[in-house]
Structure 1
Amino acid sequence: MEQTGARGAGPLAGAPRVRVPEQAGREVRGPAARRTVRRNSVRGQILDALRAALVGGELTPGEVYSAPVLGERFGVSATPVREAMQQLAIEGAVEVVPNRGFRVVERGARELGELAEVRALIEVPVMLRLARTVPAARWSELLPLAEATVTAAAGGDLARYAEADRAFHGAMLSLAGNRQLVEVAEDLHRRAQWPLVSGPVSARRADLVADAAEHMSLLEALIARDIPVVSTLVSEHFAGAGGLT
């Protein structure tokens, strides 16, 4: 069992306790959980809240967090927190520290670049194929998702942007009709969104508006079936990937 002396919330230390509702569709409030909960289980809701805290920089790379202490702050037992952390360990966001808790993985620019390269190898060829086959009307249906990334970027909300970003990319790839492709791409995308060990959160927020603008430009090119522009945009999008693209 983790020692309760391990850091429970880092930047969340001064936050009020967060009560996680039992039913889906209700909003979880507090610095660690600013998104609308969509999962039925407490574990799933805690997992969503922790993912948001990771992306938003509220859980610090290199720090150890205790499940009992985090559970106290969320207003739940340590069990769903520990289960959620174990899922994050599978995803590569944290690592188990015996008898202490979970340490947020310290990642560097090299790992982020490797993830961007793998994502490009998967997504770019698919997008170019879809650009030649999917009718403009189908691309137009994705405009609300692209606009959602613009709205999140304007608000500077890293967690909300990350969610909107994954939704946009996932919707585009789903047009290929390959569920395994979408699941693999989403896993890689989520891993790419975990924060770097260095670099201020403000610098990451500054990139959101540009990334969201790329989404809009890409969708406009897809609707116009301008293949050369699509090719350039998707290649540049991943070449400059900074984790939240």
Structure 2
Amino acid sequence: MTGVLGAPEGFGADLAPTQNMREQIESQLSALIVSGEFAPGRVLTVPTLAGEFGVSATPVREAMLTLARRGFLKPIRNRGFAVTEVSEDDLNELCEVRMLLEAPPMRQVAGALSEESVTSLRALADEIVDAGRAGRFVEFLAADTAFHLQVLETGGNRKLIELVRELRQQTRLVGLAHLSETGALMSTALEHAELVDLLVAGDGAGAEALMRRHIGHIGGVWSGRDEPSTEAESA
């Protein structure tokens, strides 16, 4: 069931009044754009979104202006904001940089996770699967980000964590909505639990290889593009 914007009906109903309203709206809108539920070229207006969220126009306008500065939206005079498109080259470059930053540290993290971290990561891995299966992309992306940053926290490099967080905010995964509908999202979501198993086992090489494959989905199935099969990759 979808609302007037084509997003899940009532997608703004769970805004928490005790938190910053603009930040909550920005988070939900960015997740809808990142996942492809708000497709490139779609025009969004402040009054319509304010009605969906059940709030005044001010926090919605502020959130949309922030997303415009982040490159997610483009202002259209007297019409609203259009969802911008990310080129294949941009996605490939983001993918390459994230591989360079996120994959090698897996060798350092392997065998170094505390029992508390393992418990937390397994819970996040389950949350990613549950949210992905239900098509709850705001929760899916939040849990996914928390999972990856927590893994990197074990290495203790704060600058690395800040860089990865920023790069994740620039990444579009417009194929997520389609993958959720077909059920294919689960195979990639389950890689989080597999990564935890490899790290607990101290298999740094295996964890690094899995992280490279996982991040590789950015320019592949998460963006609506085909990827080489496992057989083809190992040939």
- The TM-score with structure 2 as length reference comes to 0.78
Question: Are the counterparts in 1 of residues 22 and 60 from structure 2 also a CA contact under 8 Å?
Answer: yes
CA RMSD, Structure 1 to Structure 2 (Å): 3.0
Residues 139/233 of structure 1: CA separation in 2 closer, same or farther (3 Å cut): farther
Q: What is the match of residue 220 of structure 1?
A: 197
- Matched AA of 2:178: S
Aligned equivalents of 1:163, 1:243: Cα separation in 2? 19
Question: Are the counterparts in 1 of residues 109 and 204 from structure 2 also a CA contact under 8 Å?
Answer: no
The 10-residue stretch of structure 1 (115-124 or 55-64) with the greater mean CA deviation from structure 2: 55-64
Match of 1:46 among 25, 33, 53: 25
Matched, 1:96 2:75: yes
Matched, 1:140 2:118: yes
Q: What is the match of residue 77 of structure 1?
A: 56
Match of 1:150 among 129, 133, 150: 129
Residues 156/75 of structure 1: CA separation in 2 closer, same or farther (3 Å cut): closer
Aligned equivalents of 2:97, 2:32: Cα separation in 1? 25
Aligned equivalents of 1:119, 1:181: Cα separation in 2? 10
Aligned equivalents of 1:185, 1:115: Cα separation in 2? 10
Aligned equivalents of 1:202, 1:108: Cα separation in 2? 19
1:113, CA displacement in angstroms?
2.0
Show CA shifts across 1:149-193 (max 9, x none): 122233243332222111110111122223332222122113224
Aligned equivalents of 1:63, 1:224: Cα separation in 2? 46
Show CA shifts across 1:180-223 (max 9, x none): 3222212211322452xxx6832355442111221111110100
Matched, 1:126 2:117: no
Show CA shifts across 1:101-148 (max 9, x none): 21101224332222111111111122222226x245355232111221
Consecutive unaligned residues in structure 2, runs of 5 or more? 224-235
Aligned equivalents of 2:113, 2:31: Cα separation in 1? 35
Aligned equivalents of 2:221, 2:60: Cα separation in 1? 25
Q: How many residues are treated as equivalent by the alignment?
A: 219
Residues 186/106 of structure 1: CA separation in 2 closer, same or farther (3 Å cut): same
1:83, CA displacement in angstroms?
0.6
Question: Are the counterparts in 2 of residues 136 and 225 from structure 1 also a CA contact under 8 Å?
Answer: no
Greater relative contact order (Cα < 8 A, sep 6+) = 2
1:36, CA displacement in angstroms?
6.1
Residues 78/179 of structure 1: CA separation in 2 closer, same or farther (3 Å cut): same
The 10-residue stretch of structure 1 (77-86 or 104-113) with the greater mean CA deviation from structure 2: 104-113
Aligned equivalents of 1:243, 1:37: Cα separation in 2? 33
1:70, CA displacement in angstroms?
1.9
Q: What is the match of residue 179 of structure 2?
A: 203
Consecutive unaligned residues in structure 1, runs of 5 or more? 1-10, 16-28
Q: What is the match of residue 229 of structure 1?
A: 206
Match of 2:139 among 153, 157, 160: 160
Q: What is the match of residue 238 of structure 1?
A: 215
Aligned equivalents of 1:38, 1:219: Cα separation in 2? 35
Q: What is the match of residue 226 of structure 2?
A: none
- Matched AA of 2:4: A
Aligned equivalents of 2:186, 2:16: Cα separation in 1? 25
